[in-house]
């Protein structure tokens, strides 16, 4: 859970919006334990957020400058950062609707 808290801290400090955490341990444990889905204002903003995650936590990054969706694979946690339009279009929350959502409290983020 420390990794998850660090991810939430970085996203919060970077002004990410509408962040949710999905617990996939019972739904799709071969993929990851947790999935974090968040939004950034623009392509540059989502790239900046992903760069900060990689800078502080490592991991593998998928997405290029100008893209609308960036993925950071941190092993047990996968972080998806979208522009609002791309997030609505791809609707990962709907795809994993059977996963439990973890409440994010102000002190956690």
61-91 per-position pLDDT tens digit: 998 778 999 999 999 999 999 999 999 999 9
DSSP 103: P
Task: Look at residue 85 in the predicted model and tell me its pLDDT.
Answer: 95
Tell me which CATH homologous superfamily contains domain 2-108: Beta Polymerase, domain 2 (3.30.460.10)
Model's pTM, two decimal places?
0.91
């Amino acid at each position: 859970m420390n990794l998850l808290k660090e991810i939430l801290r970085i996203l919060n400090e970077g002004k990410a919006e509408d962040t949710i955490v999905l617990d996939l341990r019972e739904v799709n444990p071969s993929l990851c334990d947790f999935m974090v889905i968040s939004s950034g204002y623009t392509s540059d903003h989502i790239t900046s957020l992903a760069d900060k995650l990689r800078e502080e936590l490592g991991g593998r990054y998928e997405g290029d400058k100008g893209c609308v969706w960036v993925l950071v694979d941190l092993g047990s946690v996968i972080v998806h950062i979208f522009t609002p339009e791309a997030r609505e279009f791809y609707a990962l929350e709907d795809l994993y609707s059977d996963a439990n959502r973890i409440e994010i409290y102000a002190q956690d983020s």
